[in-house]
Structure 1
Amino acid sequence: MIAGKTFNQWCQSHPLFVPIAATAPVCWTNTKLQDAKFALNALTITPSQLSDAAARLERFGGYLAQQFPQLPSNGLIESPLVCGAPLLQQLNKDPNQVAIKNLWLKCDHQLPISGSIKARGGFHEILKHAEQLAIAHNLISVTDDYRQLTTKPCLDLFAQHSIVVGSTGNLGLAIGIISAKLGFNVTVHMSDDAKQWKKDKLRQHGVTVIEHQGDYGVAVEAGRAISENDPNSHFVDDENSVDLFMGYAVAALRLEQQLKDQGIVVDQDHPLFVYLPCGVGGAPGGITWGLKTIFNNNVHCFFAEPTHSPAMLLGLYTELHQDISVNDLAIDNKTQADGLAVGRPSGFVGKALQHLINGCYTLEDDRLFELLALTYQTMGLTIEPSAAASIAGPATIMSDPHYLKQQGLLNKVDNINHIAWTTGGDMVPWQQMSQFIAKGQRLLTQ
């Protein structure tokens, strides 16, 4: 039974249950979509929280630039928006897919320091925690130079506090690196599908890594339980954290400027379609909320998940949110897209986006490797399997004439700018990346 109904009853009321349970690729568009301004106004999260997060990241610019020489002088952690024409040319050769115009890649796989989208939310939450501690102990004020956080009183303070997080990999990497740099004691609880190189890298930074024989949910709950018993411990709650969410949302403000710099107009006649890989939902959720806050109904956001980990799709489709798991449909939650290997979605994110998200689609692991290889062949970009999920978006959504007609876009198809958000990959060791690419190339030639 799932929420008081049998599987067959769910299949009758929700026909996509059949292919979802069979781990076949599906595309779902949201029938509960509302006017963006109306839906946003009904939420407790507000644009002032977004402005606050953006201002905080700017305050920390000097500190970050000092501590991480690979950053620009303003200390902003940002990725380029790159024209995807070479990749698009190759994708459009597929006779089975709808030809697409105007593809862009938002290259978070190139984000400095931790090489993934998780640097956005993860860094923001830890920086805010450090800021609040330092202010509470009269060691700093918001008008000060935050490079003072490297002084002995601050380091001594942070050394008395610990940070705990549960992760499949990339969030743990981001949290671990910034927390250790600030001087916190850090523990990352990792699920059994986390890649070994991510665990090794964390340990090199002096982070305690605890490995669990279980999936993402097991790692998170283990971290939460340990942290609750320590008053000096801060638990990063990937499922419910507003601070993580707002850190991700700042990306929307940065993207708005990048679109202007590229001369890309976003309005009723020139819609923006954005495709975001989704695990528990925090990163794509924060970015979607931020983009809807800026562009309202003119931006269409879609989440991408592996067929074996369709957590957010199930939560949104059934409106059960965190009260349904892929295991309820006997789906194994096993995927090579380790960053997306989540069985139960964030209820906080699902409820915030239930009237804002435009849809979700799933794809098989083999397709992830094919798209990873195509991206490398055509553009020389090294993205991990999770990130490749975004690249399937344009052809998947544009193959649904019902959605385009419903949105009044059938005569505006050529004006749509598509952004695939490549969420991670640059820190993957070349030995592993080359195996990913080789696997994708083999699949493409079969």
Structure 2
Amino acid sequence: MVAPPDASVTPPVTSADVYAARELLAGVVRTTPVAGARALSDLAGTPVHLKCENLQRTGSFKIRGAYTRIARLTPEERARGVVAASAGNHAQGVALAARLLGVRATVFMPERAALPKVDATRGYGAEVVLTGRSVDEAVGAAAEAAELSGSVLVHPFDHPDIIAGQGTVACEILEQVPDVGTVLVSAGGGGLLGGIAAVLREHRPGTRIVGVQAAGAAAWPASLAAGRPVPLGGMRTMADGIAVGRPGDVTFPQVAGLIDELVTVGEDALSGALVHCLERAKLVVEPAGAAPVAALLEHPDRFAGPVVAVLSGGNVDPLVLLQVIRNGLVASSRYLTLRVQVPDRPGALAELLARVGTLGANVTDVAHSRISGALPVGEVDVELSLETRGPEHRDTIVAGLRAAGHVVTAPA
């Protein structure tokens, strides 16, 4: 979806605000590296760089905004403590920032938040309260708690100090890739995207600023089309870090007034991008952080170079990582499940497995069933899980089995 900057909208955060935040963050956050991405560069036909915020303190960019917000509280506000809500990355950023500044922190997280993120947040010293099914519900609970206790709510994205802090990523990008042509940024609530846009729009106006959302949690397209924040009816995505059901009242004008384009990516693309980062870039990235790479893999000719893809975070639950890797392998046709009919006689299964072996596939699992109303008499169903070398190899395997007379059911 194309979303040209809306000149009638006045962004609440300027480049000067971001550079002021950068001075505040000196010595607190890391200047994260920019890594060349040869495979993506070859695919896109232009230099592609990965801005590695997955290597930031707490594993994501969120410490930038959280520290900026808490550091600017008055002594009286600090004494009352802070309250926050997050699926994990903002939680860790707030917890560490509060510890560094000597402020008590309580963080509300969705009930199904990843356990490593919950444990890490507690490890940084914050009290964790699990509540609600989504980040939006956790934010509501945090706002109620802040009102009752008098603590300061540190919103995950919808505050000028948060936007300014997150935008310091762009200050580093301009120093590391001064001729950058396109910056791809994951878009959840819009704090990172809006902050980066503030800097680039002023200091390198020719650079295209592209937000990337998970298609299953894409609140920005409808909101940009309507000219106001529009809530989603529901969300379903593995990219919990950008699963935000409504743009913020502060971030909406920031993003709408400055970005050039917003694109969405599907779940297969997200899992494929995560696998790509692991295999080719040797980087652990969470699904939300891999969204810009997913956009590049889906639209390699779309973005003018040099391209910088911001890897916003690397905090991924190992169990989720296992599932996503498998999804990514399936999406790239390197992991294949087939149902094959074979005669119900001794040796038939061995003959099938031998044939699969001659076709170059590695069998990882076999399931054997005689119970199916669709099976002819004297036939059995065999479900094979195979490792393959990609789409062409997959097609060769299926064609080879069918040429041998087997009835094969394979994914399209």
Q: If the length of structure 2 is used for normalisation, what is the TM-score?
A: 0.75
The aligned counterpart of 1:205 is 124
- Check conservation: 1:251, 1:290, Cα contact below 8 A: no
Deviation per CA, 1:135-183: give whole Å up to 9, x if none: x8xxxxxxxxxxxxxxxxxxxx95x431101112111111112213433
Instruction: Pick 1 or 2: higher relative contact order, CA cutoff 8 A, min separation 6.
Output: 1
The aligned counterpart of 1:182 is 101
The aligned counterpart of 1:287 is 196
What secondary structure is seen at the aligned counterpart in 2 of 1:304?
Answer: strand
- Check conservation: 1:195, 1:338, Cα contact below 8 A: no
- Which residue type is aligned with residue 175 of structure 1? V
Aligned residues: 334
Say yes or no: does 1:55 pair with 2:8: no
- Which residue type is aligned with residue 237 of structure 2? T
Structure number with greater Rg is: 2
Of residues 347, 357, 364, the one that matches 2:266 is 364
What percent identity do the matched residue pairs reach?
A: 24
Per the TM alignment, residue 214 of structure 1 is displaced from its structure 2 partner at its CA by 2.4
The aligned counterpart of 1:242 is 160
Which ranges of structure 1 fall in alignment gaps of 5 or more residues?
1-27, 65-75, 93-98, 137-156, 267-271, 405-412
- Which residue type is aligned with residue 104 of structure 1? H
Per the TM alignment, residue 193 of structure 1 is displaced from its structure 2 partner at its CA by 4.4
- Check conservation: 1:87, 1:375, Cα contact below 8 A: no
Say yes or no: does 1:336 pair with 2:226: no
| C-alpha spacing 1:203/1:51, structure 2 compared with 1 (3 Å) | closer
Deviation per CA, 1:6-40: give whole Å up to 9, x if none: xxxxxxxxxxxxxxxxxxxxxx012x435xxx678
Matches within 5 A, 1:232-311: 233-260=151-178, 265-266=179-180, 272-296=181-205, 298-311=206-219
Q: Measure, in 2, the Cα distance between the counterparts of 1:224 and 1:355.
A: 27
Matches within 5 A, 1:134-145: none
- Check conservation: 2:13, 2:164, Cα contact below 8 A: no
Per the TM alignment, residue 429 of structure 1 is displaced from its structure 2 partner at its CA by 5.6
Say yes or no: does 1:443 pair with 2:349: no
Of residues 29, 33, 36, the one that matches 2:5 is 33
Which ranges of structure 2 fall in alignment gaps of 5 or more residues?
337-412
- Check conservation: 2:217, 2:237, Cα contact below 8 A: yes
- Which residue type is aligned with residue 14 of structure 2? T
Deviation per CA, 1:38-71: give whole Å up to 9, x if none: 678x44433332232122223xx2xx4xxxxxxx
- Check conservation: 2:107, 2:127, Cα contact below 8 A: yes
- Check conservation: 2:11, 2:255, Cα contact below 8 A: no
What secondary structure is seen at the aligned counterpart in 1 of 2:177?
Answer: helix
What secondary structure is seen at the aligned counterpart in 2 of 1:223?
Answer: helix
Matches within 5 A, 1:94-109: 99-109=44-54
Q: Measure, in 2, the Cα distance between the counterparts of 1:44 and 1:227.
A: 24
| C-alpha spacing 1:348/1:311, structure 2 compared with 1 (3 Å) | same
Q: Measure, in 2, the Cα distance between the counterparts of 1:434 and 1:173.
A: 23
Say yes or no: does 1:373 pair with 2:281: no
Say yes or no: does 1:121 pair with 2:65: yes
Larger CA deviation: 203-212 vs 374-383: 203-212
Q: Measure, in 2, the Cα distance between the counterparts of 1:443 and 1:44.
A: 41
Q: If the length of structure 1 is used for normalisation, what is the TM-score?
A: 0.69
What secondary structure is seen at the aligned counterpart in 2 of 1:381?
Answer: coil
Higher strand proportion (structure 1 or 2): 2
| C-alpha spacing 1:171/1:47, structure 2 compared with 1 (3 Å) | same
What secondary structure is seen at the aligned counterpart in 1 of 2:212?
Answer: strand
Per the TM alignment, residue 250 of structure 1 is displaced from its structure 2 partner at its CA by 1.7
The aligned counterpart of 2:147 is 228
Per the TM alignment, residue 230 of structure 1 is displaced from its structure 2 partner at its CA by 3.0
> For the aligned residues, what is the CA RMSD?
2.4
- Check conservation: 2:15, 2:198, Cα contact below 8 A: no
Deviation per CA, 1:175-213: give whole Å up to 9, x if none: 112213433221111124421211122122332111113
- Check conservation: 1:188, 1:210, Cα contact below 8 A: yes
What secondary structure is seen at the aligned counterpart in 1 of 2:204?
Answer: helix
Deviation per CA, 1:277-305: give whole Å up to 9, x if none: 11111112111222212111x11111111
The aligned counterpart of 1:95 is none
The aligned counterpart of 2:31 is 78
| C-alpha spacing 1:183/1:379, structure 2 compared with 1 (3 Å) | same
Per the TM alignment, residue 346 of structure 1 is displaced from its structure 2 partner at its CA by 1.4
Q: Measure, in 2, the Cα distance between the counterparts of 1:309 and 1:222.
A: 21
Q: Measure, in 1, the Cα distance between the counterparts of 2:14 and 2:97.
A: 26
Say yes or no: does 1:317 pair with 2:235: no
Runs of 4+ in 1 over 4 A off after TM superposition: 395-400, 429-432
- Check conservation: 2:18, 2:195, Cα contact below 8 A: no
Larger CA deviation: 430-439 vs 337-346: 430-439
| C-alpha spacing 1:365/1:428, structure 2 compared with 1 (3 Å) | same
Q: Measure, in 2, the Cα distance between the counterparts of 1:46 and 1:337.
A: 29
- Check conservation: 2:14, 2:199, Cα contact below 8 A: no
| C-alpha spacing 1:126/1:116, structure 2 compared with 1 (3 Å) | same
The aligned counterpart of 1:421 is 310
- Check conservation: 1:87, 1:378, Cα contact below 8 A: no
Deviation per CA, 1:228-280: give whole Å up to 9, x if none: 2333x1111234210000001222112111124xxxx35xxxxx111111111
